[in-house]
Structure 1
Amino acid sequence: MAKTQTLYDLLEVSPQASLDAIHAAYERLKNKYLEGKLNSGQLDATTQFNLIKDAYLTLSRQETRDRYDAKLTANRTSGPTVVYADADYSQPSNIWKWVLVVILAGGAAFYFSAQHKIETEKLRLVAEAQRLQLEQAAQLEKDQEAQSELQRARAAMAEEKRQEYEAARQRSELSRDSDRINRDLANAARQSQREDERARQQEEYRQRQVESQRRQEASEAQRRIDRERSLARQLEQENRSGSSKAGGIPMRH
């Protein structure tokens, strides 16, 4: 004997479930349907979801739920039946309701199929947007890395130029110092030469003075000698002159 399937069974909740639990069960089954994970059994997924939707519409309102519970209690004495919705399809007067239900089911199937396509397209667009965002983020990260690398290269070039400038400045200072030292050495050498030349000139002047003094002294000595010789000759002449006159003229003393 087949087990009676109720609207609570379709929503996979107990008859004592709260309205919040019924709503949560419907949302869970709807998500399973949208993800294509709904187990349809002998029924196709669209028909089963329409039954789930009808069950939710019946059980989500307290008034219709009370009527359904009363009818479910009254039918428990009957044979095994499958109760899908709050409707009596055994009466001929309800045939148009059944036709309307079929039409609505077809429309709902088309609607949910379109909704499924729309949701699938939305998910695809969201995934594509996320992919583009990831690509843009990756490209931005690459651009930032390239910019950072360019800044580091510019900083390295600036540091290299600064070091070259500093080395050139130091070489220039060393060159100026070397030139100044060379000038100082040249000036010192010229000063030394001038001092040596002055000392040599002073020595020559001193030697000339000494030589002149010597010549003057020699000349003076020669003049004294000449005077002494002249006096000696005069005395000698006088002596000879006195000797010749000694006989007749007495010598004067």
Structure 2
Amino acid sequence: MSKTLYDLLEVSSTASAETIAAAHQRLAEKYHPHAPHNQGTADDGDALNRYKAINDAFQVLSRPESRQRYDQQLASKANAAATAAMLAPPPSRRLGWVAVLLIGAALVGGWQYQSRQEAEKARALAEVERQAKERRALELAAELEKTRLLQEAAEARQQAQLQAQAERDAQHSYEVANARADAALHSREVAAANAARENRRQQQQVLALEQERQREAQQRLERDKATLRQMEYDNRRGPSYRSY
């Protein structure tokens, strides 16, 4: 009986996916053509063939769909073998049946090869499509990241412009308020100076008036004194010299 894919991986037909993966890893390390224990040995080529067969078996049994199809093929072969055993022809007719079986095996092998090629092609197409989707997703993510960065840069520039404008407005308001305060202070100083000048002018006017009244009073006093002296002089000279 020819070896099945399970036999190549040294597992049973009911082995779990984890068991199959572990067996593949163990055998791949054992029969890897670049492994030191397989270099320069007599069975170097056999190790390479075994390594390829192990990988092919794992490619089929690691995917649930292909493993199910392979199990169905094994079941069909087993049923066919059982049926052939039950209907085994006499020895004289066995050669004909052997030829028929060989032809059937060749047809089944061709169908298996074609199915494997189609499965590999479908897997390759699926891988290409997956890579294309991943590439489109990466490009979309990069585009979104670029858009986000540009938006953040624009918002930062706008915020900086608003802040600069606010600082300019605050500086202008400070300068205007300072100028108004200076103008108000100057106005108060001018008003105070004017008030001081007016006060001095009024004081000078009052002083001048007071001095004028004092001069007039002094003049009246001098006239009164002169009149009194004349009257005293006239009184001393007698009544005949009086002017009245």
Instruction: List aligned pairs for 1:78-157, cutoff 5 A.
Output: 91-157=95-161
- Whether the 8 Å CA contact 2:6–2:12 is kept in 1: the answer is no
- The amino acid that maps onto 2:14 is D
Q: Deviations over 1:150-193 (max 9, x none)?
A: 22221111111111111111112111111111111111111111
- Whether the 8 Å CA contact 1:11–1:22 is kept in 2: the answer is no
Structure-2 separation of matches of 1:57 and 1:140: 47
Structure-2 separation of matches of 1:96 and 1:178: 120
Structure-2 separation of matches of 1:60 and 1:13: 16
Q: 1:12 aligns with which of 8, 12, 29?
A: 8
Cα deviation for residue 214 of structure 1 reads 0.8
Number of equivalences: 197
User: Which region of structure 1 is more displaced relative to structure 2, 5-14 or 191-200?
Assistant: 5-14
Q: 1:183 aligns with which of 184, 187, 191?
A: 187
- Whether the 8 Å CA contact 1:58–1:64 is kept in 2: the answer is no
1:215 aligns with 2:209: no
Structure-1 separation of matches of 2:237 and 2:218: 28
Structure 1 pair 8/123, CA: closer, same or farther in 2 (3 Å)? closer
Q: 2:15 aligns with which of 2, 13, 21?
A: 21
Q: Deviations over 1:114-135 (max 9, x none)?
A: 2212211211111111112112
Structure 1 pair 117/98, CA: closer, same or farther in 2 (3 Å)? same
Cα deviation for residue 222 of structure 1 reads 2.2
Structure-2 separation of matches of 1:163 and 1:101: 90
Structure 1 pair 214/150, CA: closer, same or farther in 2 (3 Å)? same
- The amino acid that maps onto 2:198 is R
- The amino acid that maps onto 2:124 is T
Structure-2 separation of matches of 1:22 and 1:147: 52
Task: Structure 1: give runs of 5+ residues left out of the alignment.
Answer: 72-89, 239-253
Greater C-alpha radius of gyration: 1
Structure 1 pair 113/19, CA: closer, same or farther in 2 (3 Å)? closer
Query: Normalising by the residue count of structure 2, what TM-score does the alignment of the two structures yield?
Result: 0.64
Q: CA RMSD in A?
A: 4.0
Structure 1 pair 40/112, CA: closer, same or farther in 2 (3 Å)? farther
Structure-2 separation of matches of 1:91 and 1:58: 28
Instruction: List aligned pairs for 1:20-59, cutoff 5 A.
Output: 20-21=14-15, 25=20, 41=49, 57=71
Larger RCO: 1 or 2 (CA < 8 Å, sep 6+): 1
Structure-2 separation of matches of 1:155 and 1:237: 114
Structure 1 pair 22/136, CA: closer, same or farther in 2 (3 Å)? closer
Structure-1 separation of matches of 2:3 and 2:197: 129
Q: Kindly, what percent of the aligned residue pairs are identical?
A: 12
Structure-1 separation of matches of 2:102 and 2:48: 22
Structure 1 pair 99/41, CA: closer, same or farther in 2 (3 Å)? same
